[in-house]
Amino acid sequence: MRHLLPALLLLLAALPATAAAPADGSRVPLPAIDAGPGEQCVEPVEFMRRNHMELILHQRDETVHRSIRTKRYSLRNCINCHAVDAGGQPVSLDDPEHFCVSCHRYAAVKPDCFQCHSGEPEPGVPGVVGAGAWSRGLAANASRGVKP
* Beta-carbon-side half-sphere exposure of residue 143 (alpha carbons within 13 Å): 5
**Which phi-psi region, left, alpha or beta, contains residue 87 (left: φ > 0; alpha: ψ -120 to 50)?**
alpha
Give the residues lining the site for another protein (CB under 8 A). Answer: 17, 31-34, 36, 39, 60-61, 64-71, 76, 79, 81-82, 84-88, 91, 93, 96-99, 102-103, 106, 112, 115-118, 120-129, 132-138, 141, 146-148
Instruction: Give percent helix, percent strand, percent coil of the chain, each to the nearest 5.
Output: 45, 0, 55
Q: Measured from the CB atom, is 42 or 131 closer to ligand HEC?
A: 42
Q: Measured from the CB atom, is 40 or 141 closer to ligand HEC?
A: 40
Select the binding partner of residue 49 from another protein, ligand HEC, none (C-beta < 5 to 8 A, by kind): ligand HEC
* Beta-carbon-side half-sphere exposure of residue 135 (alpha carbons within 13 Å): 9
Select the binding partner of residue 131 from another protein, ligand HEC, none (C-beta < 5 to 8 A, by kind): none
Identify residues 77-106 at the interface with ligand HEC (CB under 6 A): 77-78, 81-82, 99-100, 103-104
Burial 32-51 (b: 16+ CB within 10 A, else e): eeeeeeeeeeeeeeeeebee
Q: Would you state the torsion angle of the CA atoms of residues 121, 41, 52, 86, taken in this order, to the nearest 10 degrees?
A: 40
Interface residue list for ligand HEC (CB under 6 A):
33, 35-36, 39-42, 45, 48-49, 52-53, 55-57, 59-60, 63-64, 73-78, 81-82, 99-100, 103-104, 107, 109, 111-113, 115-117
